[in-house]
Structure 1
Amino acid sequence: MSIKEQVTQELDSLSEAELKEIAEYVTFLKFRARVKARPALAETQLAALYAEFADEDRKLAEEGMSDYAKGLIKEDA
């Protein structure tokens, strides 16, 4: 008897609630397989991405600081 046949036989004996749990587990296994399939970024790639956007992030943060300071002054008033 193949594994597929064994699993099918076991599934036939399960309740609806148990089948729902099995379905959720199968969904999790598929998700985990997709996540593992993604290549991890190398440290040098991450450093390059950080460097590329660091200046832009800094400018955006500095622009937002004046609005933040104004909001704090309004709160104190």
Structure 2
Amino acid sequence: MVALKEFLSLELDKLNEEQLKQVSDFIAFLKFRSRNISWQIDKNKMAALYSEFAQEDRQLAEAGLDEYAKLLTQEDFK
């Protein structure tokens, strides 16, 4: 492990600023990826949200159909 760190240190010394930035970005990516993010999903909350949004979707669809019917009526009278 020490030999690897020494090797990397020597290689880093040879890089220009842009290359060092890329290495820094890659290290940040590795740290982000290694995080163990666990999402706890409350199924009851999800069901309630689904129901709420489904109701809103139905209302919007009905409003849209009413508007569409009005537009068709207007077209008929032109």
Normalised by the length of structure 1, the TM-score is 0.48
Normalised by the length of structure 2, the TM-score is 0.48
Greater Rg over alpha carbons, structure: 2
